[in-house]
Amino acid sequence: MQSHSDSKPGGATLVLFEAEHLKANIRNALVEAALSPWQRSFLSDVLSKLEKYGGRARLSDKQRLKLNEILGGDGTRRQEAVTTSRTTRQTRRSRFRTPSFLSRRIRWWRRRLVRDAVVVALIVMAGLVYLVFETGPVQPFLGTVGKWSQAMGPVDQAFTVTDGDTVHVAGERAGTRLVGFNTPEKFSPQCEYERKLGERASSRLRELVKSPNLQLTKVPCACPAGSEGTDACNHGRSCGVLKVDGRDVGQILIGEGLAVPFICEGNRCPRTPRPWCG
C-alpha cells in the first residue's frame, strides 16, 4: 500500500485531504493571527503552492517546521493566536503604524515651503531696508513737456537719485543713465576708496537737484538701432541729460573731482573709465 506521503530528498508530497486542511488553517491564520511581515509572506507563498498543486504540493522539512512553529504542532494555530481579539490587533497596528511614504513627502514639502517663504521674506525686507538707507529721499522736479516713449525731449515727471550718474523717473521700469560722465560705483566698487567717493557723488547730486530750476531731457543712447529700451542697450535704461540752473550736472561733478568724462560716439561707447582704484 502507498502511504499518505512519500519521503523524498526534495521534501514530502501532501495528500489532498491534508492539503485542504492545511490551506484552511493558513487562511484562518492570515485573517485572525497577529503575524510578522515575514510570517505573513511565508504563509502566503505556501498557500499559493497548495492552491496551485493541491495534494501534489511538495514541502521541505524546513518548510514543515516553520509551518508547525507558526500554526502549531498539529497543523493548527496556537491557542493564544486564536484568542487574540480583532480590537486588540487594530489597537496594536494603529499604535505602531509608521507614516506612509506619501505622508512623509507631504510633510517634507510643507517644511521646505515654509523655510523658503521665510528666506524670501528676509531677502525682500533686506532689500527694502537697503533702498531706504541708500537711495535717499525722492527729489521731485517739473520739466516742460513731452514723454520720451513718444519722442526724445524734456520729461515732466518726478524722479529719484539712484547714484551719482543715474536717476529713476517715476513710473518707468528702468532708470535713466546720465550721459557724458561716469561717477565712482558705490554698489559694486573695486575698492573702498571708490565706494566712499561714489557715496559722495550721490550725495552731491541730491544736493544739486534741490534747485527749483531743473531740466531732465531724454536723449538717444549709444546703442545699435532697435535695441534701445532692451537689456542689450545700457541694461534696459534710457539715457538723459540733467541740467541745474542751465549747467550739466556731469560737468559740475567732473569739476569737483567726483566724476570723469565718458563720451560715446554714434552707437558705440569706449570702455567705462574707472580710475579710482589705481
pLDDT at 73 over 60: no
Phi, psi at 222, each rounded to 5°:
-80, 75
Residue 106 lies in a domain: no
CB contact at 8 A, 50 and 22: yes
Residue 124 lies in a domain: no
My answer on whether 164 and 248 are in the same domain is yes
CB contact at 8 A, 64 and 71: no
Residue 111 lies in a domain: no
CB contact at 8 A, 198 and 184: yes
The C-alpha atoms of residue 278 and residue 272 are separated, in whole angstroms, by: 14
CATH number of the domain that residue 188 is part of: 2.40.50.90
Cell of 107: 510633510
Q: Among residues 96, 114, 143, which one ends one of the domains? A: 96
CB contact at 8 A, 249 and 201: no
My answer on whether 74 and 171 are in the same domain is no
Residue 151 lies in a domain: no
The C-alpha atoms of residue 232 and residue 191 are separated, in whole angstroms, by: 27
Coil, helix or strand at residue 29: helix
**pLDDT tens digits, one per residue of 5-48:** 333 444 556 666 677 878 788 888 887 767 888 888 888 888 88
Residue 260 lies in a domain: yes
**pLDDT tens digits, one per residue of 167-202:** 999 999 899 999 999 999 999 999 999 999 999 999
**pLDDT tens digits, one per residue of 200-251:** 999 999 999 998 899 999 999 988 888 888 888 888 899 999 999 999 999 9
Query: What is the number of domains present in the chain?
Result: 2
The C-alpha atoms of residue 215 and residue 237 are separated, in whole angstroms, by: 18
My answer on whether 273 and 170 are in the same domain is yes
CB contact at 8 A, 127 and 193: no
Question: Which range of residues forms the domain containing residue 241?
Answer: 159-277
Percent of the chain with pLDDT over 70: 74
My answer on whether 164 and 54 are in the same domain is no
Cell of 109: 514639502
**pLDDT tens digits, one per residue of 75-102:** 444 434 444 445 555 555 555 555 677 7
Residue 118 lies in a domain: no
The C-alpha atoms of residue 233 and residue 228 are separated, in whole angstroms, by: 5
Cell of 9: 530528498
List the one residue out of 170, 163, 187, 174 whose CA is nearest residue 235: 174
Residues 6+ apart with CB under 8 A from 207: none
Q: Among residues 52, 68, 96, which one ends one of the domains? A: 96
Residue 81 lies in a domain: yes
Q: Which residues make beta-bridge pairs with 167? A: 161, 176
Q: Among residues 60, 75, 96, which one ends one of the domains? A: 96
The C-alpha atoms of residue 234 and residue 227 are separated, in whole angstroms, by: 9
List the one residue out of 164, 167, 273 whose CA is nearest residue 217: 167
Residue 203 lies in a domain: yes
